Chains A and B, each alone.
Chain A
Amino acid sequence: MLRFIVRRLLIMVPTVLVIITLTWGLIRLAPGNFYSSEKNIPAAIVKNIRAKYGLDQHWTVQYGRVMARLFGFQYVPARDAEGKEVVGDDGQLVMKTEWHPYPDFGDSLKFEGKSVNQIIADTLPISATVGLLAYLLALVVGLAAGTAAALRQNSKLDYASMALAMLGISIPNFVLGPLLVLVFSLTLYWLPPARWGGFPSWSLVMPVLTLSALYMAYIARLTRSGMLEVLRADYVRTARAKGLSERQVVFRHVMRGGLLPVISFSGPALAYLIVGTVVVEQVFALPGLGNYFLNANFNRDEPVIIGIVAFLSIAILVFNLLVDIAYALIDPRIRY
């Protein structure tokens, strides 16, 4: 088990490096620049900008800088005791190399003076709050609905919950979100139509509902089919034959087997909930990671894009690993 985990962790390093390299290459291939705007800028000013951000250097230098940052190295102006930048005898700033034990993605190009690490630290809690709440809601409702449907197969309850689930899967969140806004904000004036109001607040209700609908539906359907399969299994018949109560049969035996598909779905789903909030964050104008990521792409903000891609790829790889571990813990048949 330990060997398995270590091996998986070691494979993550080259994976992330390849992802970052590809991302960096794609950004460079994309036409346009972070400094371009509707008003054309004189060539001399473009030259100043490119010099300021080191964009006039050879691409190997620029690539090296990105990679060095990933390993915690930063090339920054030296500062004296008062925090002032030190100017050398030649009138140029004195530069020095710093090292941190964590990746330092540098400063945003679009938002001058804002560090990418700080941006991730500020926005992750918002995305994570919405994502986790949506996941919890999806899990509770999905499991309950799925289990109830499986235990009362072909009943009205079964049909109703599966119909709802079908609806949840079919309505995309960019439709569901505005629909909720139309009803609960614009018509009934109950809930704010957009913006982040902190945690806990009413502003969370609609984003969480919108985000969880799809997952709720998936989990309900997965639970139902998983449970139906296990309900017919030999060991469940054995459990009943032993004279266990129905409650014990369902909770101790059926659920354990029936939930495996839900767990394998959960890993990528959880990671995706942090990434996948892009749409919901746009619809509800939430200042989360997804919102930044999307806008950073429009803005050609290289450090922010690279920082968030690196962060997300690591998060997804770790979640997948956690799922594999959880698998082994729940199902005694699985060994690594």
Chain B
Amino acid sequence: MSYFRSAEFRLAAALLALASLAAGCAVASSGGMYFGRVAPPEGQVMRYVTGDEIESLDPQVGTGQPDARVYEALYEGLVEYGPKDSLPIPAIAEELPKVNADSSELVFHLRKNARWSNGEPITAKDFVYTFQRGLSPKLASRNAYLAYYIKYSEAYNTGGSFLRDTKTNKFLAEKDVSPDAAKEAEAATDKPPAHEDFAPDTPFHQFMHEPARLVLSGDDAARKAQLEANPNIKAAIDAKELEVVPVEAKDIGVEAVDDYTLRVTLRQGAPFFLGLMAHQFFRAIPHGPIEKYGPKWTEPQNIVTSGPFRLKERILYDRTVVEKDPMYWDAGVVRLNRIIFYPVKDNNTIMNLYKVGEIDAFLNHTVPPGWIDHMRPLKDYMYTPENGTDYYDFNCRSGPFTDKRLRKAFNMAIDKETFAKWRKTVTPLTGFVPVGIFPRYPNPKGDDFNPERARQLMAEAGYPVTKNGDGDFVCEKFPVSEVEVIYNPPSSNKDIAVFLQAQWKKHLGITVPLREMEFRTFLQVRANGDYKGIARDAWGGDYMDPFTFLNLFYKGAENGSGWHDDKYDAILDEANRATTEEERYRLFAKAEAYMLEEQPVIPLDTPTVNWMKKPYVKGMYPNPLTLHPWKFVYIEYDQAKWDQGIPQMAE
């Protein structure tokens, strides 16, 4: 009895009461139309959480999406992502470029009034510098591969060389060596000239349209193999008849025809390339400060920017503040005076900041899964299908899953409809390219949920699935010790792995062990294929075209499964040469169907963009890439004009 009178007990009771009261209030106060407090900040200031701290203010260094959103304020490229559909809109280019028939050459006409934040004009030469610098091996940009479609840029970035005949001073062409290339070149001469004259012809332009030069690889092993395959060339180099000329910045397919005309020549037809050019890697960066200050050019006292905002302040892990730049060519449109980007990693912390009204909007995938049901009816919850795909890799390099039948069986044993219902926000996916993103793309279907057929395939592969006394499936022969599902934190990834594990247990009688790995360890293990069987994977598209997904398996690109196939590559090559979108998409779908038949991955779902913004934030839309051109965003102080739900996308 005395215990209940003790101070300890009374204190504990009081604290418990307080905590339960607090929890009760938290739910009650969000029962309104919006989550938490709604009070627009004074003076057209936007406070945004963009995720983890960005790596750098140099758009060719930072690779993440958080970085991309800051770059959208500070830098502008030839084109910009559209605010609603993420498709390219003109930016420093006056209008979308003129593109030749096979989409291998783009001519941009620049605005005459585009200026750097120091008032100097932005010209075509600045873009030539931007592209050349981004591709220089010395910078070692992790995004350089995005620009590899530009002619000779891969050779430049990877230290490749041309071969020059010392007698004739001519460069060796691919067609001189490979019969395939010769055939192709011949075929090309039959056709009308592939380039149209959107800009005057120049010696550089002629160089770009010479037969493709042979490139000697910059990688020692690859170069050796190349020379061994062509002993004539090796002998000629040794006899000094051929001179090895390293590919230089000036050789890549970017040309300032005049101060305001930029011509970009690609090594192949690439209709998607324009969509890629809004990417941070292609945004204008200043020549002078970079040469002068090296990596310190992004310090506030040195930095020069090209976008609608300029840098005011940056404190790592605290805030990056940008303010409206009066030098910006379209400054009249910009209504925000200032944007404060807060780096916050923890989702609960972000939600807390949003609830009390310390921030006005935040990044994608922040609302914790358990909160979705509560948030979805609110008027400040934004969602739309995402330009991404969630899947699991099979290790096609080694282990039991080198057997295609097993891959198909494990895929068919997963009920993706139920999976999507359980995940709440996603759309089930049997294919690889997301659904609902590319309206004219005929998404092929992969195998449906079919546990019967899955068990049949298991039996064919030598692992019969039988029923035990309790009516549960068992598969005694399957070597469970040789497989494992690996995934990385956070715990939502674990929940998905557990779901898949339960499906396989239920339908195939196999309990696949799960293993969680720290993020960077996981990345390395997956990239090297050092995992036993199955690995979590996901991909967010770089641009709005199915190729950003299909490209993952193109020409032995480094995908987690290790799967690649020459036939698949050939279909994609054909597709990118197609002249109409319809034909191109048809061939893409053919390639995707071919890949799905091989089943290197378990497709799971098309994720959903989900984030929140206060109703007074206008000009910001849920779009497939969750990249927002800040010049259109503003704070509305007139309550009558606030957004009541997802803003009108048709406006």
Q: Roughly how many angstroms separate A44 CA and B135 CA in the complex, as a whole number?
A: 12
Q: Roughly how many angstroms separate A91 CA and B113 CA in the complex, as a whole number?
A: 36
- Produce 1/0 per residue, B4-33, CB < 8 A to A: 001110011001001101110110010000
B residues in contact with A329, CB < 8 Å: none
Q: Of B256-264, B460-468, B517-525, B575-583, which stretch is located at the interface?
A: B517-525
B residues in contact with A179, CB < 8 Å: 19
CB pair B296–A30 under 8 Å, yes or no, is no
CB pair B8–A159 under 8 Å, yes or no, is yes
CB pair A113–B299 under 8 Å, yes or no, is yes
CB pair B358–A167 under 8 Å, yes or no, is no
CB pair A52–B138 under 8 Å, yes or no, is yes
- Produce 1/0 per residue, A168-184, CB < 8 A to B: 00000000001101110
A residues in contact with B442, CB < 8 Å: none
CB pair B352–A185 under 8 Å, yes or no, is yes
CB pair B523–A181 under 8 Å, yes or no, is no
A residues in contact with B525, CB < 8 Å: 31
- The distance from the CB of B186 to the nearest CB of chain A, in whole angstroms, is 31
B residues in contact with A182, CB < 8 Å: 19, 22-23, 26
- The distance from the CB of A31 to the nearest CB of chain B, in whole angstroms, is 4
CB pair B140–A51 under 8 Å, yes or no, is yes
Q: Roughly how many angstroms separate A77 CA and B159 CA in the complex, as a whole number?
A: 22
User: Which of B63, B356, B558 contacts A192, CB < 8 Å?
Assistant: B356
Q: Of B312-320, B500-508, B638-646, which stretch is located at the interface?
A: B312-320
User: Which of B15, B53, B145 contacts A41, CB < 8 Å?
Assistant: B145
CB pair B56–A111 under 8 Å, yes or no, is yes
B residues in contact with A112, CB < 8 Å: 55-56, 58, 61, 295, 298
- The distance from the CB of A267 to the nearest CB of chain B, in whole angstroms, is 28
CB pair B356–A40 under 8 Å, yes or no, is no
Interfacial residues of chain A within 85-126, with CB under 8 A of chain B in the complex:
85, 107, 110-114, 119, 122-123
CB pair B7–A193 under 8 Å, yes or no, is no
CB pair A31–B292 under 8 Å, yes or no, is no
Interfacial residues of chain B within 483-531, with CB under 8 A of chain A in the complex:
518-525, 527
A42 interface residue (CB < 8 Å to B): yes
- Produce 1/0 per residue, A46-85, CB < 8 A to B: 0111011000000000000000000000000100001111
CB pair A41–B292 under 8 Å, yes or no, is no
B424 interface residue (CB < 8 Å to A): no
Q: Roughly how many angstroms separate A249 CA and B29 CA in the complex, as a whole number?
A: 55
- Produce 1/0 per residue, A25-49, CB < 8 A to B: 0000011110111111111110111
User: Which of A39, A41, A113, A122 contacts B296, CB < 8 Å?
Assistant: A113
B294 interface residue (CB < 8 Å to A): yes
B142 interface residue (CB < 8 Å to A): yes
Contacts A42-B145, A283-B349, A287-B317 known; A48 to B524 CB distance under 8 Å?
A: no
CB pair B356–A31 under 8 Å, yes or no, is no
A residues in contact with B19, CB < 8 Å: 179, 182-183
Q: Roughly how many angstroms separate A44 CA and B539 CA in the complex, as a whole number?
A: 21
B593 interface residue (CB < 8 Å to A): no
User: Which of B8, B22, B522 contacts A166, CB < 8 Å?
Assistant: B8
- Produce 1/0 per residue, B349-378, CB < 8 A to A: 100110110100000000000000000000
B444 interface residue (CB < 8 Å to A): no
Contacts A179-B19, A186-B352, A193-B356 known; A36 to B527 CB distance under 8 Å?
A: yes
CB pair A45–B142 under 8 Å, yes or no, is yes
User: Which of A37, A40, A159, A299 contacts B6, CB < 8 Å?
Assistant: A159
A3 interface residue (CB < 8 Å to B): no
CB pair B520–A31 under 8 Å, yes or no, is yes
B287 interface residue (CB < 8 Å to A): no
User: Which of A36, A119, A166, A285 contacts B346, CB < 8 Å?
Assistant: A285
B residues in contact with A43, CB < 8 Å: 219, 558
CB pair A113–B56 under 8 Å, yes or no, is yes
User: Which of B318, B521, B560 contacts A287, CB < 8 Å?
Assistant: B318
A residues in contact with B399, CB < 8 Å: none
Q: Roughly how many angstroms separate A242 CA and B460 CA in the complex, as a whole number?
A: 99
User: Which of B61, B64, B344 contacts A285, CB < 8 Å?
Assistant: B344
B residues in contact with A30, CB < 8 Å: 520-521
CB pair A45–B292 under 8 Å, yes or no, is no
A147 interface residue (CB < 8 Å to B): no
Contacts A40-B527, A110-B55, A167-B11 known; A193 to B316 CB distance under 8 Å?
A: no
Q: Roughly how many angstroms separate A183 CA and B158 CA in the complex, as a whole number?
A: 56
User: Which of B356, B523, B539 contacts A36, CB < 8 Å?
Assistant: B523
- The distance from the CB of B524 to the nearest CB of chain A, in whole angstroms, is 5
- The distance from the CB of A281 to the nearest CB of chain B, in whole angstroms, is 9
B549 interface residue (CB < 8 Å to A): no
Q: Roughly how many angstroms separate A82 CA and B294 CA in the complex, as a whole number?
A: 12
- The distance from the CB of A29 to the nearest CB of chain B, in whole angstroms, is 11
B626 interface residue (CB < 8 Å to A): no
CB pair B353–A31 under 8 Å, yes or no, is no
CB pair A300–B520 under 8 Å, yes or no, is yes
CB pair B138–A83 under 8 Å, yes or no, is no
Q: Roughly how many angstroms separate A38 CA and B542 CA in the complex, as a whole number?
A: 13
- The distance from the CB of A118 to the nearest CB of chain B, in whole angstroms, is 9
27 A-B pairs whose Cβ atoms sit less than 8 Å apart in the complex: A31-B521, A32-B523, A37-B64, A40-B560, A44-B219, A45-B140, A45-B141, A82-B292, A83-B293, A111-B53, A111-B55, A113-B294, A114-B316, A156-B7, A182-B19, A182-B22, A182-B23, A183-B19, A189-B37, A189-B356, A192-B356, A193-B352, A194-B344, A284-B349, A295-B317, A298-B518, A298-B520
| Interface residues of B, Cβ cutoff 8 Å to A | 6-8, 11-12, 15, 18-19, 21-23, 25-26, 29, 36-37, 53, 55-56, 58, 61, 63-64, 137-142, 144-145, 154, 157-159, 218-219, 291-299, 315-318, 342, 344-346, 348-349, 352-353, 355-356, 358, 518-525, 527, 538-540, 557-560
